Amino acid sequence: MDALLERLRAGLPAEALITDPDVTASYAHDMASFCDAGTPAVVVLPRSVEEVQHVMRTATALRVPVVPQGARTGLSGAANASDGCIVLSLVKMDRILEISPVDRIAVVEPGVVNATLSRAVGELGLYYPPDPSSWEMCTIGGNIGTASGGLCCVKYGVTAEYVLGLEVVLADGRLLNTGRRTAKGVAGYDLTRLFVGSEGSLGIVVKAVLALRPRPPQQLALAAEFPSAAAACDAVCRIMERGHTPSLLELMDRTTVRAVNAMASMGLPESTEALLLCAFDTPDPAADLAAVGELCKASGATEVVPADDVAESELLLQARRSALPALEAVKSATMIDDVCVPRSRLGAMIEGTAAIAEKFGLTIGVCAHAGDGNTHPVVCFDHTDPDESRRARASFDEIMALGLELGGTITGEHGVGVLKKEWLARELGEVGLELQRGIKSAFDPLGLLNPGKLF
């Protein structure tokens, strides 16, 4: 420990190092339940690429594991510390280095908060689409680490589609440049894409070139009430089948609607079994919403309420963004699943989840990026009750098994981390797993980067 601190101090200003155990303990884990976290030896908050390189050279020389962190809003334990590790928090590297309206790119450091970037590019008439509900807190480095998605992905796609190039400090301290800042480019293997979703296991992202789009018109939303989740899912299929391009298509079940009302008095309709929110940022959103409203009614919607204006639409989005915090308040703990299925199987997924909730005698609220088939069943339980905790974990696993059965994936956007690593092996299969391990050891032969995650 002394040798580690001495070597780190040689290349870092004093304020970049935290060793007080009370403070380092607060960097031990992200926001996921049921994930082991170790005790870090030290937390380092670098401000430059050179400082990150110094940390990695030190870690390699002394064979100390390194856990990169952004804002620790992750929901899979992917940013959790391991015993004796260096926690490398990138939050102080938070400069927007360039925004180019001609090239339609932004060049940023990893600690830039998602909403800060969105606002900055918005002022120039540009748009950075990936918008996790945690956008006011989470960082671009974390978004790249988890390949995160969000509410607008049904139209604009996920983080992977917007990362053009990266600067990455490798485990031994070398600096790697991947990708490009051009609109096109196919030179060599796509290492940029490989880093997206790699959960800090291949290198430390210290700079990112991100694609931007022209800012679309502000979106208008509607809310549709359904007598069952199956009817709401039927509406989702009709909307997509008819070729509509909503900028948002989200579902909240009855439990979620009630939880949001309880937390934020949003006045959402409590008698509904499922609430579908749909928005358009097209040239004539009112016409698109009217067409979608008819499709909802054809699927059995009992009420279709278009928002009067942009402000009312934003309130509906706020309701959806508060779904996870609201469900977290239902009981003392939650486990948040992230199963994504082909959207044609969404109804089966939600019905199956309800059956799992009944089987285990638990409250499981479901909110979903319905247009993507990405469900977030949130298992609410009392963590002081051992039996309820055991049932919660078992139901969480059954939900993933159901997702795989329906042709889906165990994680649409939150990542594998510690929480789902046994399940990753099932999803990838033997050959896939072996190749992925080979890639990990090509980048990190000593296994120092974020050990114990993914595999």
Ligand X SMILES: Cc1cc2nc3c(=O)[nH]c(=O)nc-3n(C[C@H](O)[C@H](O)[C@H](O)COP(=O)(O)OP(=O)(O)OC[C@H]3O[C@@H](n4cnc5c(N)ncnc54)[C@H](O)[C@@H]3O)c2cc1C
Among positions 66, 106, 204, 448, the unique one binding ligand X when judged by CB under 6 A: 204
Identify which of 193, 209, 171 has the alpha carbon closest to the alpha carbon of residue 88. 171
Q: Among residue numbers 61 through 100, which ones bind ligand X (CB under 6 A)?
A: 68-75, 78-79, 90
Among positions 129, 132, 246, 293, the unique one binding ligand X when judged by CB under 6 A: 132
Q: What span, in angstroms and rounded, lies between the C-alpha atoms of 323 and 303?
A: 21
Q: Among residue numbers 208 through 267, which ones bind ligand X (CB under 6 A)?
A: none
Cα separation values, 170 from 13, 52, 83, 326, 446, Å: 22, 10, 21, 39, 12
Nearest approach in angstroms of CB 90 to ligand X is 4
CB distance 197 to 415 below 8 Å: yes
Q: Total residues at the site for ligand X (CB under 6 A)?
A: 36
- Measured from the CB atom, the residue of 130 and 293 that comes closer to ligand X is 130
Nearest approach in angstroms of CB 78 to ligand X is 3
Nearest approach in angstroms of CB 147 to ligand X is 8
CB distance 325 to 361 below 8 Å: no
Answer yes or no whether residue 414 interacts with ligand X by CB under 6 A: yes
CB distance 203 to 169 below 8 Å: yes
Nearest approach in angstroms of CB 61 to ligand X is 20
What is the per-residue binding string for ligand X in 325-364, x denoting contact by CB under 6 A?
x---------------------------------------
Stretch that binds ligand X, among 140-148, 276-284, 377-385, 422-430 (CB under 6 A): 140-148
Answer yes or no whether residue 163 interacts with ligand X by CB under 6 A: no
Nearest approach in angstroms of CB 36 to ligand X is 15
151 secondary structure, DSSP code: T
Nearest approach in angstroms of CB 398 to ligand X is 22
CB distance 406 to 348 below 8 Å: yes
How is residue 70 written in tokens?
């952004």
What is the per-residue binding string for ligand X in 313-332, x denoting contact by CB under 6 A?
-----------xx-------
Nearest approach in angstroms of CB 110 to ligand X is 4
- Strand, coil or helix: what is 363? strand
Answer yes or no whether residue 141 interacts with ligand X by CB under 6 A: yes
Stretch that binds ligand X, among 18-26, 139-147, 286-294, 297-305 (CB under 6 A): 139-147
Pairing of strands 86-89, 66-69: parallel
Identify which of 114, 148, 160 has the alpha carbon closest to the alpha carbon of residue 374. 148
Residues at the site binding ligand X, with contacts judged by CB under 6 A: 30-31, 68-75, 78-79, 90, 110, 132-134, 138-139, 141-143, 145-146, 148-150, 199-200, 204-205, 324-325, 413-414, 450
